[in-house]
Chain A
């Protein structure tokens, strides 16, 4: 990534008042991740075991919510059809910042077994900024929990800033989205 102006420097920074405040905020964000309950592909079948008794994601503060307005995390679970991509963009833009995207499985990374399909996308990062990738077909709930642990670590370090990238490079993302979604009948930004 050429654009890394939002990343933290490696050398330790001076602890200012604002910095401590931000650290505390990030800690709260990391420990209270609300996931919008929207499954885009086959991988969403792995989410119910993750949140129910066996794997219990709630012990990490991970909760499922039914509305994008209140959600922090969008899970792209498996292959993403172009038709679904349009809805995913709407959902993502309705979520309030800071927001994070977790891409599940091989399909959002390189197309997976649908790499030559006419109606699925091959690389999600061209259309939405992805914070955590998780490969596998399909990743089991343990793997999804490890992805969440990874996301929490990145949020605490202040490095999960895909939403800033999306705002800064909205033109680029929009160009890519409009290239693949032929009947683009949406407002400029889906509030």
Chain B
């Protein structure tokens, strides 16, 4: 057990570094798309360190302090639930029977904590952004739930280990090819989760400053930044395990998460922004209808 905790901690630190690196890489790639040189790929490390060492003199109450902690713990907690390497004694983190259900709950934990804290800061931009964030969450959770429940029902399991087990034995056994419509629904809801560009109305630069964390500075922001990076990696791992057949070694995990990292990034690069009602309407129609094709098929054939 001690070894397991130790490896999970090391994995969380590696995930933080990997997440920050991917963030820097996405800034570099976006700069190249704009025809700029762009910052170094390690820019996010520098930003996090600088923010961590800045002084702070603001207080808005207890929830204001707790919000970055919730965000960080939401990220780390999600990460610790998801197996990184299938059947590995050390790198499967703390996955257990029924972890899929806990995960669905835990993935919104950070956002809700953030919403409470950002609301307490009292800034009008924060209030607008929190409203938008929670509404949009209600939008993308629906296709995501259809995909997760569909996959769980098809494989007769609510554990990650079971879902990965069912996908072993060749690329065509992956859920991506077994249930393509569910996968499309999941991948579209992934765009909403990463707030990539057609659905970027929550942070909405040029409109409501920087979204929910408008009033957060220094160490608070540094914590949110790192929490978001770990959360991003955790979500790549979730989608890797659900759709791409998990990973049997560490290299495979890195390659598959990297491919998943490119998907929202290139969508971001070429799209303008939806308004809130447009994005929620989009999530509740197209991905839901596409996902339901497979969902109903599974119910008919399996029951």
A56 to B, closest residue via Cβ: B36
**In the bound complex, what is the Cα–Cα distance between A191 and B37 (angstroms)?**
37
Assess the A70–B36 pair: CB atoms within 8 A: no
Chain A 42-78 residues near chain B, CB threshold 8 A: 52-53, 56, 58-61, 65-67, 69-70, 72
**Is A96 within 8 A of B215, CB to CB?**
no
Q: Cβ of A52: which chain B residues have Cβ within 8 Å of it?
A: 34, 36
B14 within 8 A of partner (CB): no
Please tell me which one of the listed residues A53, A60, A65, A96 contacts residue B54 in the complex, with CB atoms under 8 A apart.
A96
Tell me which of A7-15, A24-32, A179-187 binds B.
A24-32
Contact A69 B46 (CB under 8 A): no
Q: Does A41 contact B (CB under 8 A)?
A: no
Is B55 interfacial (CB-CB < 8 Å)? yes
Query: A59, B39: Cβ atoms under 8 Å?
Result: yes
Docked pose: A69 CA to B39 CA in angstroms: 22
Nearest residue, chain B, Cβ from A99? B54
Q: Which residue of A lies closest to B45 (CB)?
A: A28
| A98 engages B36 (CB within 8 Å) | no
B58 interface neighbour in A31, A59, A66, A96, Cβ under 8 Å: A96
Q: Kindly state whether residue A97 has any CB partner on chain B within 8 Å.
A: yes
In the bound complex, residues from chain B placing their C-beta under 8 Å from that of A96 are 54-58, 217-218
Determine the distance from Cα of A65 to Cα of B54 in the docked complex, in whole angstroms: 16
Q: Among B31, B57, B208, which residue has its beta carbon within 8 angstroms of that of A191?
A: B57
How many residues of B sit at the interface, in one of the four size bands?
20 to 34
Q: Provide the main secondary structure of the chain A interface.
A: loop
Give 1 or 0 for each of B41-63: 1 = CB within 8 Å of chain A CB: 00100110111011111100000
Q: Are A53 and B36 in contact (CB under 8 A)?
A: yes
Q: Are A56 and B31 in contact (CB under 8 A)?
A: yes
Whether B269 is near chain A, meaning CB under 8 Å from some CB there, is: no
Bound state CA distance, A60 and B38, in angstroms?
8
Also in contact, A28 and B36, with CB within 8 A (given A67-B214, A69-B216): no
With A28-B49, A29-B53, A61-B46 given, name 13 new contacts (CB 8 A).
Answer: A28-B50, A29-B50, A53-B36, A56-B31, A56-B37, A58-B39, A59-B37, A66-B205, A66-B214, A67-B215, A69-B58, A191-B57, A191-B58
Closest 9 CB pairs of A and B: A66-B209, A56-B36, A69-B217, A32-B50, A28-B50, A59-B37, A28-B49, A97-B55, A32-B46
